[in-house]
Amino acid sequence: MMLFSRNNNKLAPGIEEKIKKYRRMGCTVPTRKMIKNEEQIAGIRESSKINTGVLDHVAQHIKAGMSTEDVNTLVHEYTLAHGAIPAPLNYEGFPKSVCVSINEEVCHGIPSKDVILRDGDIVNVDVSTIYNGYFSDASRMFLIGDVSPERRRLVDVTRECLELGIEAARPWGFLGDIGEAIQEYAESNGYSVVREFCGHGVGIEFHERPEVEHVGRRGTGMLLVPGMIFTIEPMINMGKPGIFIDEENGWTVITEDEKPSAQWENTILITEAGVERLTW
């Protein structure tokens, strides 16, 4: 079955009819804007390749003694050298090219020459790239030096949450399938899921609909249709789920109990056969 008709703008009849069937059943279905055409998918794939390259570049160089500003420089220079633009830079006033969040920082850590990576830290590096007008988004956790078993386990379980979320994302399934898979696994391991931040559509803009929550119930939420592209990015806390935003910079999100948090993120494409992971 073809996803799009020959004009590349109109959904193929089989896809269109299936969406209509689910709508008649009372399901929430995506708008046409949320379903990318072949040209858009190709552009987002190319952006995603650079985004993955940025994270690979960080992985080769990140170490204790570096400042988070050093990480920002790695990201900024690699991105520009590949003809792309760092999406976070100046986005709604964000001053840097990447988010670098350490230990109890959940997300949106602002790089600084005064913040030094130290032995035992767990660090999330969240990279977003614009290439030829197309957006991609992913993050990885990095272990700095000799990390405690407790923190290593948090990082591992969070990655497993991402994998289970991707596994649950299937054509003609529902967003709630993703949320339940993540929430169930995180909580069964004694962790909590951050509710205030979620995954999102991406590709034509930095943040698009739908919102992809990391808690939920199977069989609920928006229908997943081939052509949808979005991020899954669970933020898992070692302690309670509560968070607050640093009043000094207005960006960095921190766990309320100041226990560690971890996050992994990928951009995925729903296909007729399953899922294509666009970023790593």
Q: Which residues contact 179 (CB under 8 A, 6 or more apart)?
A: 165, 212, 213, 214, 215, 216, 217, 221
pTM: 0.94
State mean pLDDT over 50-57.
98
Per the model's pLDDT, the better-predicted residue between 6 and 113 turns out to be 113
CATH placement of domain 25-277? 3.90.230.10
pLDDT surpassing 80 at residue 10: no
CB-based contacts of 224, cutoff 8 Å, min separation 6: 169, 170, 171, 172, 173, 174, 175, 177, 270
What one-character DSSP code corresponds to residue 218?
T
pLDDT in tens, 154-212: 999 999 999 999 999 999 999 999 999 999 999 999 999 999 999 999 999 999 999 99
pLDDT for 6 beyond 70:
no
Position 3 scores a pLDDT of: 57
Residues 6+ apart with CB under 8 A from 177: 168, 169, 170, 216, 218, 219, 221, 224
- Per-domain boundaries in the chain: 25-277
- Nearest CA to 142 out of 107, 117, 111 is that of 117
* Residue 271 pLDDT exceeds 90: yes
Could you check whether the bond before residue 260 is cis, i.e. omega within 30 degrees of 0? no
pLDDT greater than 60 at residue 8: no
Residue % of the chain over a pLDDT of 70: 97
pLDDT value of position 9: 58
Q: CB-based contacts of 13: which residues, under 8 Å, 6+ apart?
A: 5
Mean of per-residue pLDDT scores for the chain: 96
Largest CA distance in the chain: 58
